[in-house]
Amino acid sequence: MSVIITDSCINCDACVDECPATAIVSVDDAPVDTEYTYVKPEKCIECVDCTVPKCAYVCPSEGAIIWDMPYIEEFNDYFMYGDADGKYKIRVHKKNGVFSPLNQPRPFRETISIEQRQNKMVVEI
């Protein structure tokens, strides 16, 4: 990731079609047990090519989208533990295996610090 959707989400699904990486799915399609719209961390590219994260731009609910850790090798254990705990459900490819940060790192915004991510900073526009 990435970004993560919180319990401030009102499930309006406005963000689903906006994501350039097709990383967001509505609650009914979420691969994990959740009551809210879900972001696939193995797909989110933090909208690095855009001025602002597109999901946050259209979101009507303050605090619904927060920063998560970068989807890079350094945080492989973090995401794999999250996968084992049911927080995430990382895609497994038949040939290539788990789309883990180790195998398939994703672009991330270097302007957002690790500390801000650890503090669950709201994605602002």
59 near ligand SF4, judged by CB under 6 A: yes
76 near ligand SF4, judged by CB under 6 A: no
Residue 4 pairs in a beta bridge with: 66
The residue from 30, 39, 69, 90 that contacts ligand SF4 (CB under 6 A) is: 39
**Helix, strand or coil, per DSSP, at residue 69:** coil
d(CA 32, CA 47): 23
66 near ligand SF4, judged by CB under 6 A: no
Give the interface segment with ligand SF4, choosing from 12-20, 72-80, 86-94, 97-105 (CB under 6 A): 12-20
